[in-house]
Amino acid sequence: HAKALGKGQFQFFTREMNTAAHQRLALDSALRRAQEANELSVAYQPKIDPYGVPCGFEALMRWNSAELGPISPERFIPLAEETGLIESMTDFVLRRACQEAVSWPLPVSVAVNLSPRLFRDPHLAARVEAILAETGLPAARLELEITESALLGDLSQTMTIIESLRALGARIALDDFGTGYSSLTYLRRLPIDIVKIDRSFVTDCEQGGEAMAIPRSIIALGRCLHLRIVAEGVENPRQLEQLAAYGCDEFQGFLIAKPLSPEDARAFLEGKRVG
């Protein structure tokens, strides 16, 4: 590319790259200090069943940087994965989420996202077990969300770790289902309990008819495999109705509530209006 450009443009191009690299460095060094500086927190987004009864919450990491302001997980999670910071950040979310869930007025579940990189550590299940023991949360109330990309690494080690996590009593959810590489084959072979239909398919549900083909198929397949099916990114009643009609078990999205502060999450469980 650079060759094809004139001399001036080439310099411009490298300057742009320099800026991007600098921004990334600045973000990385700020992220390294974030945990100690108490800038990380956890938001809780509720999931409900077709009757509107709360089933649990997904724990979502938040970073409000003193220098840079609030940064989206879409920006800092990939960076943390690259650098390895995700390890200690996940311990933080897991510990926080378990502590919080223990204090909830109802024994609903809490779901924590596990990035693919974590499956490089053969002791992952032992770390989760230690945090459960430390916080006193029953493993049955913990869900761990993985994405299909977790399967791109050492598959046999990943499978072993997933089995160990389930042996603790935690449930495994396949997140963003339908957007990854594996889909149908893995859905049957993987030791999982829950499948989360990706938001992109939920968006389609509004139109009904042929747009329902994929979400309907995921639900049908999930039911055959005795998996619990969760729809993510439900934004309007029409989507919820369509998905419920085909047997979707749980619903998560802005229609129900945005990710909530710990206080609002508790209020949600007490049946108060929040958000």
User: Applying CB under 5 A, which residues contact Mg ion?
Assistant: 113, 145, 175-176, 232
Does residue 263 bind ligand C2E (CB under 6 A)?
A: no
Q: Site residues for ligand C2E, window 33-52 (CB under 6 A)? A: 45
Does residue 93 bind ligand C2E (CB under 6 A)?
A: yes
Does residue 259 bind ligand C2E (CB under 6 A)?
A: yes
Closest CB to ligand C2E among residues 91, 108: 91
Q: Which of 179, 231, 177 is nearest to 205 (CA)?
A: 231
Tell the smallest beta-carbon distance from residue 36 to Mg ion (Å). Answer: 26
3-class SS letters over 48-70? ECCCCCEEEEEEEEEEEECCCEE
In the bound complex, which residue of the shown chain has the CB atom lying closest to ligand C2E?
A: 253
Does residue 233 bind ligand C2E (CB under 6 A)?
A: yes
Closest CB to ligand C2E among residues 57, 104: 57
Closest CB to ligand C2E among residues 8, 52: 52
Q: Site residues for ligand C2E, window 134-163 (CB under 6 A)? A: 145
Does residue 176 bind ligand C2E (CB under 6 A)?
A: yes
Residue 230 carries which DSSP code?
Answer: E
Burial 143-160 (b: 16+ CB within 10 A, else e): bbbbbbbbbeeeeeebeb
Tell the smallest beta-carbon distance from residue 1 to ligand C2E (Å). Answer: 31
Closest CB to ligand C2E among residues 72, 103: 72
SS3 179: coil
Distance CA 271, CA 273 (A): 7
Rg for the chain, CA atoms, rounded? 20
Closest CB to ligand C2E among residues 10, 235: 235
Helices 73-83 and 7-34 meet at what angle, rounded to 10? 90
Between the two ends of the chain, the Cα-to-Cα distance in Å is: 48
Which of 50, 214, 235, 269 binds ligand C2E (CB under 6 A)? It is 235
69-71 and 54-65 strand pairing? antiparallel
CA 262 to chain centre: 17
Kindly list the residues in this chain that would bind ligand C2E in the complex (CB under 6 A).
45, 60-61, 72-74, 77, 90, 93, 113, 115, 145, 175-176, 199, 232-235, 253-254, 259
